Structure formats: structure tokens, C-alpha cells
Chain A
Amino acid sequence: MNINLKVWRQENKERKGGFKTYRLQDVDPNISFLEMLDILNNKLIKQKLDPVAFDHDCREGICGSCGFMINGQPHGPQKATTVCQLHMRSFSSEDEIVLEPFRAKAFKVIKDLSVDRTSFDRIISAGGFIPVDTGNAEEANTTIVEKTNADEAFLSAACIGCGACVAACKNSSAMLFTAAKVSHLALLPQGEPGKKERVQKMVATMDEEGFGACTNTGACSAECPKEISQENIARLNREFIKSQL
């Protein structure tokens, strides 16, 4: 298949960026999307041009490194799929494919399609943990956790922190990301101590980092490659209100 790429090129966060177009011919539909970009980059390098910068690592859909907009959708058209798991067979020959970085005030562009998502780490540092020192834990099976709660907590904890939720949101809100962590810990008895402080600090940090407010449109959850449910947001709101009482 042949494809026409329109790629956002931006040298760094200070410089202005813009689109450049590239045509690739005879692309094997069975290669992954990132392998297609590898091919493009090898071509560019051979022409002594700067390759397209993009983040990626595990290429198994779990590390959360990859992610950019493909035709206006975070991670592209396939449901519940990160860019690295997307294959060229999802497109047709002669398609125009537009690539842009995740855009948000709290995600500064590093170069081309690569953005700085360390603001997520600062939200976690604000309270996304259980304060327990190493070596002080009691025998594991003395903590009984209802299977339904454990399974629910797991689903929330499955967030890969890729930032698609923020990119999908018209307000660039980090609500789903933050809510997933709050939920994961709130659903478990281990998360009980420090519960109030956790949700308050995490929400405050979210605001400080420049993420927008949540208006419950659900775009985040719809675009989430791990299908993190919007129910997490309801749970965060509940935890937040409870913490004020």
C-alpha cells in the first residue's frame, strides 16, 4: 500500500512547528505503525534529513511511552489499542494520515511527536501511594480483599499513564488519569489510611500543573487504550467530597 503522511515537525518547545508531508510507497500492511515510522526515519536519515522524533519503548502496549494523534485521535483509529500495537492494515492505500503530538498546556512538546509528561509523575508524587515502609508489612493473607473489589482495583490500576485521556479532552483534563489512581487505592483496605489527604493533594497538583477541569464528556474513557472506565471519575468526585466533610 502507499500512504501520504502529514507529520507535525517542531524542533523544540521554543520554536514554532508545522506540518510536513511524506509519501511512502509499497508499505507492507502487516507491519506495525511504528515500524512504518522506522522506515520513514531510515529514509530521512539517508537523505541527511532529521528523522521524526517520537517516544516508544516496549512496543507491547504496556509501558505507556508511545502516543500521538493520528487523524485527530489519540493512538489512532483502533479501539483499546496503543500506537505501537496498531498495524498498517487498519489503513487503506492512498490514505492521508495526519500525525500530531498530544497537545496540552501541561504536556510541553519536546520535539516533533514527543512530549513531556512528567506532570503525571508529580500528580502521583503528591499522594498516589500507600505510606508503608519496606520490611514492615504483615503476612499478606491477613488482609482479606473481596475478589470483586480486588478485580475492580486492578482495572483502575491498569492505567499506563500514556496521556491519551488528556489529549482527547477538550479541556486537557487529567481527571481520568488521577481518578484511576485514586480509585485503585480507595477500593482496597490498604488505601484507607491517608485517604482524605491523598485525593485532596492529587487534585490540587492536577490544577497546579495546568490541566483543565472535567466536564464529564467521557472522551477520555472512549479514547483510553486500556479502557479505563469513567466510573473512576465518579469515584474520585465521591472521595473528594467525602474528604471535605
Chain B
Amino acid sequence: MKNPVLDPRTPSGALHRCWSNHKEDLGVLSGEEANKYKVIIIGTGLAGASAAATLAEKGFNVDAFSYHESPRRAHSIAAQGGINASKNYKNDGDSTKRLFYDTIKGGDFRSREENVYRLAEISANIIDQCVAQGVPFAREYGGLLDNRSFGGVQVSRTFYARGQTGQQLLLGAYSALSRQLSKGKVRFFPRHDMLDIVVVDGKAKGVVTRNLLNGEINSHYADAVILATGGYSNVYYLSTNAMASNVTANWRAHRKGALFANPSFTQIHPTCIPVKNNFQSKLTLMSESLRNDGRVWVPKKKNDPRKPNDIPENERDYYLERIYPAFGNLVPRDVASRRAKEVCDSGQGVGQTGIAVYLDFKHVIKDKGKEYIEEKYGNLFDMYQKITDENPYKAPMKIYPAVHYTMGGLWVDYNLMTTVPGLFSIGESNFSDHGANRLGASALMQGLADGYFIVPHTITDYLSSEKPGSLNNTNEELFKKTTQKTAQEIEKIMNIKGTLVVDEIHRELGKTVWDKIGMSRNSEGLQEALESIPKIKEKFWTKLLIPGSKEDFNQELEKALRLKDFIELAELMALDALERKESCGGHFREEFQTKENEAKRNDLEFMYVAAWQYNKHGKPKLFKENLEYKNVKLKTRSYK
């Protein structure tokens, strides 16, 4: 494989002019010209649906694929808390620069300044766009938009729709997409998995898909391809991601030459409902916004058997407020998660398993009344009660961290293009804006920034120097070959005919990844992971059992194809975590911590993006994109 050029193509000049200058320099196409091109989009969540709608508005023909039956089912729908925008409606001193700085700092100085500034700049347009689409954001009595604050920041800049912000934003993007479907500018292929990218003369020119309903494998030609396929938290088996969320499209692109950046940067969300038994299939998040009003605590005494309401105030350890007086319960996610693990490891954990902490609303219910909580978090409280059979209005919630988001993803340049020309990656599926830790309410912001406001411009620039094409004799053979390869792989998996079901192997993988590449990592554990993951892979290829036929609606086969790629990814995650001999954000290496048990960065040696190249025959090759900070001063994150 050729050595890729790792050029971030970030524009020069003053930070606040970067994006507008760059946009002016990008090539454009008239609607009539755009109509000659076809773009394939894989995934129709927030990023994919918004990109599909916008590109179609600009005149491009879009083929959009999803494994869901409808774009409205994408996991963006489950985002609860909100979306950040530096509108400064609260007049609390918010600005583009402040949102930029919070995001860079929250990411522990492992993201590109230019990208993050652009994100902050665009944030305000997103809210305008969504309101125009009819997204029913929460409003104040005067009829203006309401805001709340979120972890890791001190201003109120989060726009929300109760605890269902993701749902409302996704339905907004879905309605914009539906409008283009009705015009025939977008064709939607439901229940299709993307299983390969077709690269013609070094450029992405199409994909291979499997129709989940009848197993048909087909190839599709396009002038460019966008991956908007989300994150890979399900490598841990248990995560807050939806059951089908997977890394397959990204991984297949990686195998075709797209570099994978910072795979070990995963986010553990501090407020999830704890694991209760071995049959558990997924974890449920309780929005971070709850930390605005709830107070986190554990009993001071170890293994305290008393009920939470029987423990008097002076015997409670409000550990976040104690350690971080300035931010208290609103410290960033990685910090809150690690501290929860710490108190549980020390024996102060609560509940049957001892692996949980309390999130208590007693004080706010007393001060502001039950109605206040109902209005703000009603659906979350209901959900909690349904799952746990406990009433959180009466006793504190029990919570524990769980895997929630992956900052790592396909490496992209400033134009959101991967190292394969013509292949773009947007939303959670790329590595771009969150560095080593994402702040709350920033995922929705990035998905929509990429989809509505960035990739439509940058892909037009790419296409303006490409001749619109179609399947011809020279590349037909290549498309056929790629399709056949995919079919052969499926055949191979069907023929293993072992004794283990997919979930059994996935659970084993998940346990390894959680134990060794989870909330905290060390060299020894990572080495162990590198030894045990190949064994799991071996098990997959010798012991797997898939029922039924490959020409059928076969949900086990779908899962197996995804697990295969998760196993390969897990190995890369371990390698990346081992290689990064520092702690930063969500990547906490036990060997590298301060006296106060905070992450200890090593800016001298590790201030880079680790971009890995797939190697069919051996160890992946590491390429480094060095990061430069010209506008912010590097400092140790402090939330005290």
C-alpha cells in the first residue's frame, strides 16, 4: 500500500477568518452541473440525513443507504440532553471563542484548532436552521429559546427539547431528507449494509451493499462517497449505543486505505444505569443534564448497608463537590467517570453489586418542587423507573459509567475527506473535533455542522475538479470483483458451522475490551489484550454458528459480519492505547497520572493525532499528524 499523505489542509491566517476564507476559495458547481453528479451516503442519522438533504438541495443526486428501515430510526434519535451553540442568549459572556476554547480544553488539547473553531462558529447557524425546520426546542414564557448548562462549561449554551433533543433534531433532518425524497433527488435504500468501498484509480467510486431482506449483494457507482455511520462503542458489547451500531463501513474503508485515527479515544459516560445481570443486552444513559440538578455522592463509610435516605448528610461524601469546588457535579465526563470508578474500587460503591454511586435530587425537589423536575427530566425519570423498578423522586438514582461515544474514527482533513480521495467521513464516524474527550451536547452539534454546513461545500470543491462518470467497461470488472469478494466472505462465515452464537463471542470480546481498554489502561493489560484478541478472532472463525440461509432476512448473519470487524478494531485500539504513553482525556494510562490522580499529558512527545494504516500482512503502520496550538495556551485541565 502506498504511503498516504497526511496533510490536514488547514487554512492559514487568522483563526476567525479560516473557514470564511477557505469557503471563498472552494470550487462551486451550479445546480445544473451538480445534477450530473451522484453522491453515495452511507448512514442517515443526524450527519448523513442532513448531508443528503443539503446536497440534494444543491442539485446533486444522492443515493442514501441505511441498515434501518427508516432514517428516523438512527441512533442520533437517542441523544437526550441537548445541542450547544454560542448564541449568548443568556448574556453570560458566551462567544464563539469561548465555545472553541471549552471544546479544545475539554478535548484535553488533542484536536485541531481550526476544526474546532469552525465548529463553534457554525453552531449558531445550526440553531437557526433547526428552528426554521420546526424543531420544537424548549422555550421561555416570553416565547424565546431556553438554554441550560452542561458538563465542563460555566455558561448556559445548551438548547434542548426536554430529554429528547436528539429525537427532535433527527426528525428535523429526516423531514428535510423526506422533502428531497419527494422530489426524487434522493433515493433511499432501507435495510442495506455497506460491506465494501470500490476504489478506482485511487479514488472512492462506489460501494458494495447487502440487502438485509433477501441477502442480495450489489455494487453502486458514484462520483464520491460519504460515510456517516456513527461510532464504534459496541466493540465493548455493552454500551449505550443502539444494538446495531457498528464499525463495519468505517473498518471496510480502513482496509481499503483510509487511515483510522485515535482508535483508543473512547468516552465513558458517567451517568448510566448500572449493569444488573449477565443477560443484559445494552446499557441506558441518563442524560448528563441531570448533573445540573442532581448531586453525586457515596457513603463515607465503606460497604455501608443502610438505605440512601437513612444516611445523614454528614456521613455522605459528595466527592465531586469536594474534589472540584469550582465545577462540582459539572466536571467533564471523563473526570466524573474516573472518580466514580475510584470510589467504587475503594469500597464506597452502592447497590447490590457495589458498582454504582448515587445521583440525588432530594435537595432540588425540596427547593424547587417535584414539578420543576418533572418538567425538565420527566421522561428520564420515567425511563429510570421502568428499567429499575425504583422511584427516583423518592430515593436517589443509582448510576455508573458506561461506554457512550467514540472520539476516534476515520482520519479526515479540514475538508472532512479521508486519506482515500473522494471518500468523506462525517459526524461521529470521523475523528475530528473532540480530541481525547467530547463535551456534553457537542455530538449533535458536530453531526449537524458536518452534514448541513461543511461537507456540502467541501465535497462540491472535490467534485468540481472531477468529471462526472458512470459505470463503464474499464471499472465494471473491478466492481464485479469487489462484489464477488464480499459474497465469498459471507459464504465462508456461513460455512463455519460451529457451536457458538454471535453474542457469546461478542460478550467475550466486550469483556476483554472493557477490562483492558476501558476506563483506565496500563501497559500490562494492553499487552494481555493484544494476546487475547487474536484468540477471540480464532474462535470466531472456527466456532461460530449462523442459522438459516444467507439469502434470507438473517439477523444473526448481520451481527456476525459486524462482530468480525469489531474484533479487528479491538486489536488496533489496544495497539493505539499502548503506543500513547501518556494520559489525556478519556485515555487514562495508570502509569501516567499526577499526584491527585488526574490525567498527565505529555505534550512534548504525544501532541499528535495517531493515524493508523491497515496492513494485511502484519502490524499496522502509525502516521503522526502533529498538532500545533497558536491561539490557546496549553495547560493542564483543571476543574477545581
Contact = CB atoms under 8 A, between A and B. Distances in A.
Nearest to B79: A62
Given A46-B545, A110-B213, A85 B387 contact: yes
Contacts of A1: none
Interface string A43-65: 01110111101011111111111
A12 B213 CA distance: 10
Contacts of A129: 133, 175-176, 178-179
Given A58-B78, A63-B78, A63-B242, A85 B383 contact: yes
Contacts of A11: 552
B1 interface: no
Contact of B242 (A58, A127, A133): A58
Given A30-B276, A38-B281, A65 B144 contact: no
B249 interface: no
Contacts of A190: 131-134
A87 B139 contact: no
Given A58-B77, A120-B70, A161-B72, A150 B280 contact: no
B178 A64 contact: no
B284 A60 contact: yes
Interface stretch (A95-103, A138-146, A228-236): A138-146
Contacts of A2: none
Given A121-B70, A124-B178, A46 B134 contact: no
Interface string A74-91: 000010110001010100
A111 B276 contact: no
B127 interface: yes
Nearest to B127: A140
B85 to A, nearest CB: 9
Contacts of B503: 38, 42
A140 B282 contact: no
Nearest to A188: B134
B209 to A, nearest CB: 17
A114 B72 CA distance: 17
A111 B276 CA distance: 31
Nearest to A190: B134
A137 B69 contact: no
A132 interface: yes
Given A140-B145, A145-B143, A59 B281 contact: yes
B86 interface: no
Contacts of A117: 69-70
Contacts of A184: 134, 136
Given A85-B387, A147-B143, A110 B167 contact: no
B452 interface: yes
A225 B70 CA distance: 19
Interface in A111-139: 111, 114, 116-118, 120-121, 124-139
A133 B128 CA distance: 12
A191 B277 CA distance: 47
A59 B69 CA distance: 16
Contact of B547 (A45, A80, A140, A158): A45
B280 A35 contact: yes
B200 interface: no
21 contacts: A35-B280, A44-B547, A46-B499, A46-B501, A57-B68, A59-B281, A63-B77, A110-B553, A121-B188, A125-B178, A129-B133, A131-B179, A134-B54, A135-B129, A140-B87, A140-B127, A144-B144, A147-B140, A150-B139, A150-B143, A157-B168
